[in-house]
Amino acid sequence: MTKTRQDLAWQELEIGATLITPGNSCEYKSGDWRSIRPVVDNKKCVRCGTCYIFCPDAAIHETEEGFFEADLYYCKGCGICANECPTQAIEMVEEEE
Amino acid sequence: MEIVESTNVYAYKLITKKDYFAPGHRACQGCAEALAVRLVAKALGRNVIVASATGCMEIISSPMPFTSWRVPWIHVAFENAAAVASGAEAGMKVLMRKGRVPKRKITFLAMAGDGGTSDIGVQALSGALERGHDFIYICYDNEAYMNTGIQRSSSTPYGASTTTSPAGKVIPGQITWKKNMPEIAVAHNIPYVATACPSYPIDLVEKVNKAARVKGPAYIHILSVCPTGWRLAPELSIRAGRLAVETGVFPLYEVEYGRYRFTEEYLKIQGRFRHLSEEMIDTIQKRVVEEYEKLEKKIKMTEGD
Amino acid sequence: MGKRIGLEVSLSAAEAVKMANVDCIAAYPITPQTHIVEHLSELVNDGELDAEFIPVESEHSAMSVSAGASAVGARAFTCTSSQGLSLMNEIVHIVASMRLPVVMILANRSMSGPISIWNDHTDVMSIRDCGWIQVFANNGQEVFDHVLFGYKVAESQGVMLPLIINIDGFILTHVIEPIEFWEKEQVEQYLPDFEPIHTLHPDRPVTMGGVGMPYVFSEAKVAQDEPLKQSKSVIISAWKELGDIVGRYYSPIETYRSGDAETLFITQGSYGETVSLVVDELRDEGKSVGLVMDRLWRPFPFDEFREATGQTRNLIIIDRAISYGGQGGPLAIDIRSALYKEKNQPNITNFICGLAGRDVTIDDFKNIYHKAMQKVKKHPREEDFEYYGVRGK
């Protein structure tokens, strides 16, 4: 895990404050921003991958069965996937408190 | 303009599943610019060195100690992405020549927003294009200074209300027309210039791949819808990009060594056209342009009906 | 011993860059720096130096290209003057924070306006706090030696900071001096290949130049300043090693007839050699005068100054730059601050002179000495300064 913001002493920074763990932003839970979340109806899904390719947050992945599901750790709930789905298989539903 | 995506939705599965632009970045909900970056990163793969200008994409992808980049990436300042990429490209070239770094193909990518490209970075870009560095420059055009709070740039379209071109009682928003940045790139006589939009992911990926294959400078201008700055619901950002292209507001085209053409991917992807010679493609291209111009004239003639 | 030839200092500087086997040279022409880059482009185009010469469209891009080149692990060189330095200012600061060991020759020239092409130190003083190691060269030989020294220090593992070699425009850049070249073997012995710690390469992806949010910015700054302060020991040992190889020994400050002197001149850059002649003449007249020349400007050699000036009654500090609205020139301000806690504080007089290449002759320096002595008699503790030789004062 990357050291959190409060922990880093100046001596622990890499030279030039270079970041040496590629892609460690995946530790950051951007899913906390979400107020609505996508729910996929696999009966309607034609497994085209439209939702996957248009997700700005790389938060949709293909399951072993070839369906697609959102990774709620990252999904910000923008609704692009539901809006672009050619078979309207995705519905955005309110997050419950 | 007919675009490939409508012909085969399953084509999306052909694009690599690997993401070199990692999730957990801090872009706004529905940011089509982040999507464009994700697609460009997919297209270029791991053998790339990226020089980024200051701007939305820099801020959202590199808040220390986190980075969304799985490829080597450097940010120095706002107006100099093209110059930093020039230095990286030249430096790597000489290191490989001197045998200090093993020889291999590495793509150099400079990226900036419309402010970092058509305003403050235009000089560094022009210099790098003129010097002929072997690199790709991508302008992610969201049509204003979104990172600083939606101020107008020279790429903001006529009529748009921004925080420095507000729709006032006397002046109705932006009163200048969008600077034609791709044309400025073309004027440098570089091998490849293209426009793209993440609403057409396969077209975008193809163009980035083509730019990477080109020897010398390549310029791609990507319309990147910004739901925050465009006052648009986040789920509509892909649709808005599509509309910009379909209505001709933002035409997709390529200029190879000064030769203009609408995107030929439409023909390329279909087996029934695969046999066509360059001449036949040119004939079709010419006809498409003629028909398009005729259509434009008809639209003009019937305006106000 | 290397061959000794008469050569314009700018050309010899370029020859030293060639000896350092620099990989990437990015520069934009500005007087009085031009002869250096002209000669470098000749060396590259004649195949004498295997490097990329990038004729950028501005100094801003010169420093940006150098940053990009250094970040992939190439040895980068650039040089500029005054307005060019101002234009690249933004990137000068960033290169230091990114710890990219670029070496730059600054052919010192006054800052506009009014526009002037002639020599003073207003350019370098405008970036005093940019985080680079900064040295002054007093003559052509020092310029040559310090190019090789520059890369050795800048690229040291514990340092990894960019370095500026200040050389007085025209006074040094455009004069012919006898220069002793190094032998190839001496360079190989002294200057190892550049071994960067992190570079941009697909096999080891790193992110350089991320966003410093408030919770990490101060830590990043301390992580930058500490190695600059600590670089002094590397600098001193690099000078020692240089001396052992070529027989010329350098130090953060140079002293001349200063040991018993009641009054010390303090100079930076090529004025040191002129003032040493003044010291001789004043000594002949029976005056107890010496000279301290500052070679290392950043990190500032506080201890060396305290030691050299501790027993002195009067200091005459010659500045060639202005701190507008401040207490005299930048050199005087730092020296005052260095001596603040000393028990026997000397009287400090400060003269700003030689702006934009106005001649300051031996007689002028003598005149400065007499003025200083009068000032000290009248107001021993007055921390004033004077623009020397300005009409109307």
Render pLDDT for B92-140 as a digit per residue (tens, 0 to 9): 999 999 999 999 999 999 999 999 999 999 999 999 999 999 999 999 9
User: Which amino acid is it at C95?
Assistant: V
Number of Cβ atoms within 10 Å of the Cβ of C179: 24
Q: Is the pLDDT of residue B272 over 80?
A: no
Asked whether residue B243 carries a pLDDT value surpassing 70, the answer given is yes
CATH number of C224's domain: 3.40.50.970
For A19, the closest of B25, B31, B64 (CB atoms) is B64
List the single best residue of A2, A14, A25, A62 to mutate versus B (max B Cβ within 10 A): A25
- What is the rounded distance in angstroms from the CA atom of residue C195 to the CA atom of residue C157? 8
| Same structural domain, C182 and C262 | no
| DSSP code of residue B187 | T
Mean pLDDT of B199-219: 96
Which value, to the nearest 10 degrees, does the dihedral of the CA atoms of residues B223, B224, B227, B233 take? 70
Min Cα separation B35/chain A (Å): 4
Please state the φ and ψ torsions of residue B75, each to the nearest 5 degrees.
-125, 130
**Residues constituting chain B:** 305
Q: Which residues of B touch C23 (CB under 8 A)?
A: 91, 94-95, 98
Categorize the per-residue pLDDT at C234 as very low, low, confident or very high, splitting at 50, 70 and 90: very high
B259 burial type by CB count under 10 A (0-12 exposed, 13-18 middle, 19+ buried):
exposed
* CA distance to partner chain A, nearest, from residue B232 (Å): 12
Average confidence (pLDDT) over C53-74? 98
Return phi, psi of residue C143, to 5°: -60, -50
Contact C215 A5 (CB under 8 A): yes
Domain end marker among C229, C246, C263: C246
Q: What is the ipTM of this complex?
A: 0.96
Mark B266-283 as b/e (b = at least 16 C-beta within 10 Å).
bbebeeeeeebeeeeeee
Residue C1 reports pLDDT greater than 80: no
Q: Which of the residues B7, B64, B205, B236 would you substitute to probe the A interface, choosing the one with the greatest number of A C-beta atoms within 10 Å?
A: B64
Let me know if residue A68 belongs to a domain.
yes
pLDDT tens, C141-168?
999 999 999 999 999 999 999 999 999 9
Chain B adjacent subunits, 3+ CB pairs under 8 A: A, C
Chain B residues whose CB is inside 8 A of the A23 CB are 20, 22, 67-70
Backbone angle region of B149, left / alpha / beta, with phi > 0 → left and psi within -120 to 50 → alpha: left
The verdict on residue A81 lying in a domain is yes
Q: Give yes or no: residues C119 and C187 share one domain.
A: yes
pLDDT band at C345 (very low <50, low <70, confident <90, very high): confident
| Contact yes or no for A10 and C197 at CB 8 A | no
**pLDDT tens-digit series, residues C249-305:** 999 999 999 999 999 999 999 999 999 999 999 999 999 999 999 999 999 999 999
CA-CA distance, B111 to B109, in Å (whole number)?
Answer: 6
C-alpha to C-alpha distances, C214 to A5, B59, B83, nearest whole angstrom: 10, 14, 28
Q: Which residues of A touch C (CB under 8 A)?
A: 5-6, 8-11, 13-20, 22
Per CB-CB distance under 8 Å, the chain C contacts of A17 are 97-98, 210, 212, 216, 220, 223
Look at residue C96 and tell me whether its pLDDT is greater than 70.
yes
| Residue C86, in any domain of the structure | yes
CA distance A86 to chain B (A): 9
Range of the domain at A52: 26-94
- The answer to whether position A75 is within a domain reads yes
C202 in the same domain as C289: no
C222 CB contacts (<8 Å, ≥6 apart)? A10
- End position of a domain, from candidates C246, C265, C299: C246
Dist CA C366 CA C372 (whole Å): 10
Q: Are residues C219 and C272 in the same domain?
A: no
Q: Which residue has the higher pLDDT, A97 or C237?
A: C237
Percent of chain B surpassing pLDDT 70 = 92
Answer for the pair C311, C344: CB distance below 8 angstroms, yes or no. yes
Same domain, C41 and C99: yes
To 10 degrees, what angle do helices B81-97 and B122-131 make?
Answer: 30
- Measured in angstroms, the CA of C29 and the nearest CA of chain A are apart by 30
Q: How far apart are the first and last CA of chain A?
A: 28
pTM over 0.90: yes
- Whether residue C151 is found in the same domain as residue C112: yes
CATH of the domain at A30: 3.30.70.20
Is B67 within 8 Å of A23 when comparing Cβ atoms? Answer: yes
Q: Does residue C383 have a pLDDT over 90?
A: no
Helix C330-339 / helix C302-309 crossing angle, nearest 10 deg: 80
Would you say residue B268 has pLDDT above 80?
no
CA distance to partner chain A, nearest, from residue C236 (Å): 22
* Residue A13 counted as domain residue: no
Q: Give the number of domains in chain C.
A: 2
- Counting residues of chain A whose pLDDT is more than 70, the rounded percentage is 93
- Whether residues A16 and C215 touch (CB distance < 8 A) is answered with no
**Per-residue confidence band for C233, with pLDDT thresholds at 50, 70 and 90:** very high
Nearest CA to C261 among C310, C331, C317, C303? C310
If you search the block for the tokens 């101020």, which residue do you land on? B151
Please tell me the predicted confidence (pLDDT) of residue B1. 39
Q: Is residue A2 part of a domain?
A: no
C50 & C191 share domain: yes
* Interface touch A23/B70, C-beta < 8 Å: yes
pLDDT of amino acid B49: 98
Q: How many CB atoms lie within 10 A of CB C199?
A: 24
Domain for residue A16, yes or no? no
Residue B3 reports pLDDT greater than 50:
no
Could you tell me the CATH number of the domain that includes residue C374?
Answer: 3.40.50.920
C chain contacts of residue A2, beta-carbon cutoff 8 Å? none
Asked whether the beta carbons of residue C197 and residue A11 sit closer than 8 angstroms, the reply is: no
Under the banding of pLDDT at 50, 70 and 90, the label for residue B7 is: very low
Confidence band of B284 (pLDDT split at 50, 70, 90): confident
Phi first, then psi, for residue B27 (nearest 5°) are -65, 155
User: Which of C184, C217, C246 represents a domain boundary (last residue)?
Assistant: C246
Nearest-CB residue to C215 (from A6, A20, A22)? A6
Rounded average pLDDT over C348-352: 96
Give the three-state DSSP class for C384: coil
Residue C275 falls within a domain, yes or no? Answer: yes
Report chain A residues touching chain B, CB-CB < 8 A: 2-3, 5, 8, 17, 19, 21-30, 33, 46, 48-50, 52-59, 62, 71, 74, 76-80, 82-84, 86, 92
CA distance B231 to B244: 15
C230 and C277 assigned to the same domain: no
Per the prediction, chain C carries an average pLDDT of 96
Question: What pLDDT, in 10s, does the model give residues C79-90?
Answer: 999 999 999 999
Decide if C392 is inside a domain: no
pLDDT at residue C381, rounded to an integer: 67
Q: Can you say how many angstroms the Cα of residue B299 is from the centroid of all Cα atoms in its chain? A: 28
Q: How many CA atoms lie within 13 A of A79 on its CB side?
A: 16
Q: Is residue C45 part of a domain?
A: yes
Tell me: the pLDDT tens digits for B22-75?
999 999 999 999 999 999 999 999 999 999 999 999 999 999 999 999 999 999
More confident residue, A6 or C330: C330
Q: Which chains touch A (3 or more CB pairs under 8 A)?
A: B, C
B64 with C204: Cβ contact below 8 A:
no
Is residue C144 assigned to a domain?
Answer: yes
**Over chain B, what is the mean pLDDT?**
91
Kindly state whether residue C393 falls inside one of the protein's structural domains.
no
In Å, how far is C18's CA from the nearest CA of chain B? 14
Question: Which residues on B lie below 8 Å from A55 (Cβ)?
Answer: 35
Residue B63 in contact with partner chain C when CB distance is under 8 A? yes
Contacts of C205 in chain A (CB under 8 A): 22
Q: Which residues of A touch B13 (CB under 8 A)?
A: 48-49
Predicted confidence (pLDDT) at residue B6 exceeds the cutoff of 50: no
Q: Is B12 exposed, middle or buried (0-12, 13-18, 19+ CB in 10 A)?
A: middle
Whether residue C236 is found in the same domain as residue C344: no
When CB atoms are compared, the residue of B59, B74, B106 closest to C208 is B74
In B78-97, the residues whose Cβ lies within 8 Å of chain C are: 79-80, 83-95, 97
Query: Which residues of chain C make contact with A15, given a CB cutoff of 8 A?
Result: 99, 160, 197-198
Identity of residue B44: L
Average pLDDT on B231-236 reads 95
How many domains is chain A partitioned into structurally?
1
On whether both C275 and C341 belong to a single domain, the answer is: yes
Is beta strand A68-70 parallel, antiparallel or unpaired with respect to B48-52? unpaired
pLDDT band of B300, cuts 50, 70, 90 = confident
Could you tell me if residue A8 is inside a domain? Answer: no
To the nearest whole percent, how much of chain C has pLDDT over 90? 94
> What amino acid occupies position A92?
M
Q: Which of A51-60, B172-181, B242-251, C368-377 has the lowest mean pLDDT?
A: B242-251
- Residue C163 falls inside a structural domain: yes
* Residue A8 to residue C207, Cβ atoms within 8 A: no
Give residue A43's pLDDT: 97
pLDDT, position B263: 65
Q: Is C357 helix (H, G, I), strand (E, B) or coil?
A: helix
With beta carbons under 8 A apart, name residues in chain A contacting B34.
Answer: 56-57
| The pLDDT value given to residue B270 | 57
CB contact under 8 A, A20 and C197: no
Query: What are the chain C neighbours of B98 within 8 Å (beta carbons)?
Result: 23, 50
Per the CB < 8 Å rule, is B22 touching A29?
no
Does the N-terminal peptide bond of residue C113 adopt cis geometry, omega within 30 degrees of 0?
Answer: yes
For helices C271-284 and C362-378, the axis angle rounded to 10 degrees is 70
A61 found inside a domain: yes
Instruction: State how far residue C235 is from chain A, nearest Cα, in angstroms.
Output: 19
Q: Is the dihedral of CA B200, B202, B206, B211 positive or negative?
A: positive
Q: Is the pLDDT of residue B4 over 80?
A: no
CB contact under 8 A, C73 and B83: no
C316 and C379 housed in the same domain:
yes
The answer as to whether C260 is a domain residue is: yes
Beta strands in B60-196 (DSSP E): 73-75, 107-113, 136-141, 192-196
Q: What is the pLDDT of residues A20-49, one digit of tens each?
A: 999 999 999 999 999 999 999 999 999 999
Domain assignment of residue C172, given as a range: 4-246
Nearest-angstrom CA–CA distance, C254 and C270: 12
Distance from CA of B280 to the nearest CA of C (A): 41
- CA angle, A44 then B21 then C91, to 5°: 150
Q: In what order do the strands lie in the sheet with B136-141?
A: B259-262, B253-256, B192-196, B218-223, B136-141, B107-113, B48-52, B73-75, C207-208
Is the Cβ pair B87, C26 closer than 8 Å? yes
Cβ distance of A22 and C206 shorter than 8 Å: yes
Residue B188 pLDDT > 90, yes or no? yes
Sequence-ordered alpha helix ranges (H) in chain C: 9-19, 34-45, 59-71, 82-97, 122-126, 140-154, 184-190, 214-246, 271-284, 302-309, 330-339, 362-378
Among candidates C99, C160, C223 on the partner chain, residue whose Cβ is nearest the Cβ of A10: C223
DSSP state of B177: P
